[in-house]
Structure 1
Amino acid sequence: MRVSEDLKNLAEDLVQEPHRISSLLREGGPVRKVRMPRGLDVWIVTGYAEARAVLSDPRVGKDTTQIRRLFERDGFETAGDNAVRALSGHMLNTDPPDHTRLRKLVNQAFTSRTVSRLRPRIEQITAELLDATGDAERVDLLTAFAVPLPIRVICELLGVHAGDRPAFAKWSNTMVAWSTPEELRAAAAKMHAYLVDLIEEKRAEPAEDLLSGLIHASDEGDSLSGDELLSMAFLLLVAGFETTVNLIANSVFALLREPGQMAALLADPALLPGAIEEFLRYDGPIHLATLRFTTVPIEVGDVEIPAEEFVLVSLIGANRDAERFGDPDRLDVTRPASGHLAFGHGIHYCVGAPLARLEAEIALRGLLDRFPRLSLGAEPETLRWRESTLVHGLETLPVRLR
């Protein structure tokens, strides 16, 4: 089934109205073949059960070499210079057994127990950023709080110098947005050169950080090649930054549009850990999961997807599926929202999920404790979402603090 005329501006509408468009897609079935604006044919999965099945199906691959081959088969250009290829060879874009080996090396750094040790430092950074607002009545919460908190945390965790964070954030934004191939290659080249130099610095002078630990594992022969080390550093930096920025900002935006839910959370702060799960379900930080392809024909629900077809899973769409979550378009901070797919599912489940949850909990608790009268500084419909079908995040979030 081809996409209807109502969906002819699919990519733009998916970004600005993801829930309406996902619902519209789902009306034609939880798995639909659509043609994207540049002509690429993909199967979009918006049903919860079908998304969960695809995300854990070993017959659905993610290997970047095969994805490039399929793009070229269909006549599409790929940003395939050396820097892009080197950065994209990380574990999110690999299949077993390579994925299994790479994941094992970082799993220990992101367990709930290990991450919990970061709580005092995250609380300290949160307090510093809130203090820095001074007597301001209005701020852009993204630039003042939601961006600098996770970038400081992940950069400290990996050992990135404080002065390099703004450049890193700029390159990251370019690489997850609707950038031209030229813009993507330029950002990738700068990111690649920076990480090469940083790795060499850490190899010469190791520190108590995760990147130094990965280098040590590599030098000790623990299965990380030079390219794998580089791409792993890239993945952890970008994923650890982008996901948490949008989780914090989207959560605040959702609360500010629902005063009753804000009041409930202020009245009972013990609801916050469960509320984080509801925020993830309701308006998660990732929209379309990274590109997959079928290695053989597979049945997904009532649909057969042929071999070597592209598949995109809408995590946002799946999390608003009424077959799984009752009254899915309603925010409810008391809802048992476990089982959502905001962090994916299966072997590629987000390795940084415990850190993102912890940062969001500390950030929201600190923000609401400090500014219980927080309110939106603009009409909700005037705010725009970033031009990316991967990350789901606002361009700005103006708020009144007092």
Structure 2
Amino acid sequence: MSETPPFEGRPAAPAAPGQPINGTGPGVWDPEFFQNPYPTYAWLRENDPVRGITWPGPPGHAWLVTRYEDVHAGQADSRLRHDLTAFMAELGIPEPPAIGGDVARLLGRNLTLLDAPDHPRLRAVLSRFFTKRRIEGMRPRIEILADKLLDDLAERAGDGPVDLIQDFAWKLPLTVVCELLGVPAEDHELFGYGTDASRDRGATGEYAAGAVVAVERLRALIGEKRANPADDAFTSFVRALDAGEFLDEDEVIAQAMLFVVAGHETTVDLLGNGIHALLSNPDQLKQLTADPSLVTNTVEEVLRYYPPTDIVTPQYTAEPIAFGDVEVDRHQIVILSRASANRDPKRYPDPERFDITRNTAGHLGFGHGPHYCVGGMTARIEGQTVFNRIFDRFPDLRHAGDPEQVRWKSNPVARGLVSLPVELGTPRRPGKTA
């Protein structure tokens, strides 16, 4: 591997996150960036679409890729690999201690961080359970759960602002994902640690402690599902383990934790981002309430406009790869920005406009290629349910305060609101109850 990245015709060294290159252009991953990354991404797409930045691990630098064409192609390119543990081994660098120790290493075995042959093997096992028919069959239950939570909110109408993240968006996906997995109702709160601690990345210790408890509960659940199998995802995982399709119990637990944590947080952010976008664009909200059939495309536009995952999990180059006229050498870290790609004007006309009637085909809100999100269909159904029902139940719903002042998570991967304060107004009618 070369000692320095190939920055021919470019700055001699990469810039640190938050710092412009040689005093030129915007920074990335600083506090202002997290509040609104889109002007920065627009500048990068136009002026520096494959940008060198400092990376905290080996080899010390990374490439941030921002144009749609490059990001789309990169997600399907086998020369980009996800297993950074294998990358460290290739470089002959001892793996650093993981935050959370053994539990963190266990969770690192989930399929999003793996390549062939492990990734397709694990994905095949998960895909057998998460079929379109099964997930679509969850729609009536999701509607009941959403209506029950809206009933709870209605009881607080007139009491002042409520936080739609904590009081609504956080709760619905957690229940849905735990019921799909087969986690007993009394244990659901154990698995909310991931999203709860990650609203802001200052809660690392809380996150690690919550992971330990959740892993221990899943380990016990393996025996329970063997003794009392059910029509749920975890039972199907245990059967796959006993059939030799999983290597060991840790691999089962890693996929289950991925399903709960990623499925929960991604959907919380989809719901919060979508409600915020609709409230901030009353003309679009008016169209949706006048024609509820637009809700399917509304979800897709939210995924384009405010994708719940800003960047793809950092990858490394197993071979040299070119993005446009920039060739990235072997053994380099590459970061693909879905959020930037989704607002590339070369792909979407007037991309900064939120438009629920636009053609959103090809958006990267849930990725592209072999690592396309397994749980995307579940999140879509939850979004469709919520975006219709919440505005029907609360026709006067509005931001409590300046919508420009909402606080976004300081998280380079997950793009979502820390909180969403709203005034409910007068509820229109009672919903169904569970």
TM-score relative to the length of structure 1: 0.93
The one of 338, 361, 366 equivalent to 1:338 is 361
Partner of 1:260: 283
Measured in 2, the distance between the counterparts of 1:396 and 1:274 equals 25
Deviation for aligned residue 1:367: 0.6
Contact 1:31 1:43 in 2 (8 A): yes
* CA deviation vs aligned residue, 1:240-292 (integer Å, no higher than 9, x gap): 11111110110010011111111111111111111111111011111111111
SS in 2 for 1:34: strand
Contact 1:62 1:94 in 2 (8 A): yes
> Equivalences for 1:289-328 in 2 at 5 Å?
289-328=312-351
Query: Residues 55 and 13 of structure 1: is their aligned pair in 2 closer, same or farther, counting only changes over 3 Å?
Result: farther
Contact 1:88 1:231 in 2 (8 A): yes
Q: Greater helix share, 1 or 2?
A: 1
Contact 1:176 1:391 in 2 (8 A): no
Q: Which amino acid aligns with 1:148?
A: K
* CA deviation vs aligned residue, 1:351-402 (integer Å, no higher than 9, x gap): 1111111110011111111112211112122211112111111011011111
SS in 1 for 2:356: coil
Is residue 50 of structure 1 aligned with residue 65 of structure 2?
A: no
Report the aligned-residue RMSD.
Answer: 2.4
Partner of 2:49: 30
SS in 1 for 2:357: coil
Q: Which runs of 5+ in 1 are unaligned?
A: none
Query: Residues 308 and 36 of structure 1: is their aligned pair in 2 closer, same or farther, counting only changes over 3 Å?
Result: closer
Measured in 1, the distance between the counterparts of 2:397 and 2:172 equals 18
Deviation for aligned residue 1:46: 0.9
Instruction: Single out whichever of 71-80 and 372-381 deviates more from structure 2.
Output: 71-80
Q: Which is higher, the Rg of structure 1 or of structure 2?
A: 2
Q: Which amino acid aligns with 2:178?
A: C
Contact 2:84 2:316 in 1 (8 A): no
Partner of 1:136: 157
Measured in 2, the distance between the counterparts of 1:275 and 1:349 equals 20
Query: Residues 108 and 51 of structure 1: is their aligned pair in 2 closer, same or farther, counting only changes over 3 Å?
Result: same
Measured in 2, the distance between the counterparts of 1:395 and 1:167 equals 20
Partner of 2:299: 276
Query: Residues 38 and 90 of structure 1: is their aligned pair in 2 closer, same or farther, counting only changes over 3 Å?
Result: closer
The one of 406, 416, 425 equivalent to 1:383 is 406
Measured in 1, the distance between the counterparts of 2:230 and 2:321 equals 47
Deviation for aligned residue 1:146: 0.8
Partner of 1:225: 248
Instruction: Single out whichever of 382-391 and 63-72 deviates more from structure 2.
Output: 63-72
Partner of 1:121: 141
Measured in 2, the distance between the counterparts of 1:74 and 1:224 equals 24
Partner of 2:6: none
Is residue 359 of structure 1 aligned with residue 376 of structure 2?
A: no
> Equivalences for 1:84-103 in 2 at 5 Å?
84-103=104-123
Query: Residues 9 and 314 of structure 1: is their aligned pair in 2 closer, same or farther, counting only changes over 3 Å?
Result: closer
* CA deviation vs aligned residue, 1:291-337 (integer Å, no higher than 9, x gap): 11101111111111111111111111110111101000000111011
Q: Which runs of 5+ in 2 are unaligned?
A: 1-10, 426-434
Contact 1:45 1:313 in 2 (8 A): yes
Contact 2:406 2:419 in 1 (8 A): yes
Contact 1:79 1:184 in 2 (8 A): no
Measured in 2, the distance between the counterparts of 1:208 and 1:167 equals 21
Query: Residues 190 and 176 of structure 1: is their aligned pair in 2 closer, same or farther, counting only changes over 3 Å?
Result: farther
Query: Residues 264 and 390 of structure 1: is their aligned pair in 2 closer, same or farther, counting only changes over 3 Å?
Result: same
